[in-house]
Amino acid sequence: MLLKVGELARHTGLTVRTLHHYDAIGLLAPSARSEAGYRLYNAADIARLHAIQALRLLGLPLAEIGAVLDAENDALPDILRRQMASLDQQIAQATSLRERLGLLEQRLAEGTQPDMKDWLATLEQMTTYGRYFSPAEIRSLMANWKTVADQWPPLVAEVAALMARGVPADAPEVQPLAARWMTLLGQWMDGNYDLVTRWGEMYRREPVARRDDGPPLELIEYIGAAIGVRMAALLRHLSTDDLARLGPPPEDEWRRLAAELAALQARGVPPEDAAVQAIAREWARLFDAFTDHDPGIAARLRQAMAAEPVLQAAAVATPAVRDYVLRAVAVRSPAP
């Protein structure tokens, strides 16, 4: 595969004039030319271009870069390692490249020679991610992704199934999935709604940010509309600062407690019973942790749950069970 100079410029974010200049000073000469005289660049040229850009970030003038590359016989792994060591001590903008350079170094260390597509994708992503996130944010996103990666495919499949059935995005049936989607995003992005917003913007605008096996844009728009309905309901009662302080919802624990409460309620056990009280105390402890131990946030969230059918549609407990546990909490019997 050979690229013309214009195609290479588009992929790397450099200008055609810059690439022409590199050719003119003998720093990056294309390996071939077409019959019409157009410059054509191959995979080796792309690797050399990456090394040039890496050394430029170290502050080397163009006049010295060619000598460095020639002296080291294009020893790209050594250049990458030296650049990363330097980037660790640079300002935050420069360190945003480190994760991508680490990926290249790892591939080279494993004995795998990246093809041209890999080089171009890496160079593109260096620029794209840096426009939306700081180096620290990129590291956090990459680290957190491992904890949620397995949970996304089944959730995406469920959302796709609702879309295929023609269920409107604002239907109550979609709300449990919207709540799960928000929870996963919160876990992935440390509850930072600004990060969530920027990721969504990048996903929509930048094709390079979307993986081939990622959800299609129409699905993102669909679940985004459902989340918008949910957020509107929450923001009628809580501020964005309140939402940012909410912890990960302990849904599995709440679901278990809700089942136990439903069984006791069905038997007619009164809220002041010791068994109900024990469950109510555990429920209250989880809710207190979820609302960052802030009584004001807790009160506003309870008000939202009582007033908003949209939020009730995704709740782990039915309205009857929720009322049951609230009456039990109100009793405030002392712990045994």
Q: What CATH number is associated with residue 73? A: 1.10.1660.10
How sure is the predictor about 244, in pLDDT bands with cuts at 50, 70 and 90? Answer: confident
Per-residue pLDDT averaged across 33-37, rounded? 84
pLDDT at 8 over 80: yes
In whole angstroms, how far apart are CA 203 and each of 6, 129, 136, 207? 25, 10, 19, 7
How sure is the predictor about 272, in pLDDT bands with cuts at 50, 70 and 90? Answer: very high
Q: Would you state the pLDDT for residue 133?
A: 82
Task: Residue 287: name the closest of 64, 295, 319, 93 by CA.
Answer: 295
pLDDT at 91 over 80: no
Show which of 200, 235, 270 is a domain's final residue. 235
Question: Within a domain: residue 244?
Answer: no
pLDDT at 58 over 90: no
What is the extent of the structural domain holding 272?
A: 251-331
171 and 261 share one domain: no
Q: Would you state the pLDDT for residue 267?
A: 95
9 and 120 share one domain: yes
- The three-class DSSP label of residue 271 is coil
| 183 compared with 140, residue with greater pLDDT | 183
200 and 124 share one domain: no
Show which of 73, 100, 132 is a domain's final residue. 132
**Number of structural domains the chain divides into:** 3
Q: Which range in 57-71, 100-114, 215-229 is most confidently predicted, on average pLDDT?
A: 215-229
Question: Within a domain: residue 240?
Answer: no
DSSP notation for 96-155 = TTHHHHHHHHHHHHTT----HHHHHHHHHHHHHHHHH--HHHHHHHHHHHHHHGGGHHHH
Question: Within a domain: residue 139?
Answer: no
Cβ–Cβ under 8 Å, residues 229 and 187 = no
Q: Would you state the pLDDT for residue 255?
A: 92
Question: Within a domain: residue 281?
Answer: yes
CA dist., res. 183 & res. 143, Å (int) = 17
CA dist., res. 30 & res. 28, Å (int) = 6
pLDDT at 101 over 70: no
Average pLDDT in the chain: 83
21 and 71 share one domain: yes
39 and 110 share one domain: yes
How sure is the predictor about 224, in pLDDT bands with cuts at 50, 70 and 90? Answer: very high
38-47, 82-91, 113-122, 229-238: least confidently modelled range: 82-91
106 and 211 share one domain: no
87 and 19 share one domain: yes
| 196 compared with 335, residue with greater pLDDT | 196
84 and 168 share one domain: no
188-197, 278-287, 297-306: least confidently modelled range: 188-197
pLDDT at 112 over 60: no
Question: Within a domain: residue 140?
Answer: no
100 and 221 share one domain: no
Question: Within a domain: residue 78?
Answer: yes
Per-residue pLDDT averaged across 154-162, rounded? 95
What's the DSSP call for residue 3?
Answer: E
pLDDT at 120 over 70: no
199 and 268 share one domain: no
How sure is the predictor about 78, in pLDDT bands with cuts at 50, 70 and 90? Answer: low
CA dist., res. 13 & res. 80, Å (int) = 20
230 and 263 share one domain: no
pLDDT at 145 over 60: yes
114 and 176 share one domain: no
Question: Within a domain: residue 214?
Answer: yes
Show which of 132, 156, 173 is a domain's final residue. 132
Q: What are phi and psi of 145, to 5 degrees?
A: -55, -35
Question: Within a domain: residue 162?
Answer: yes
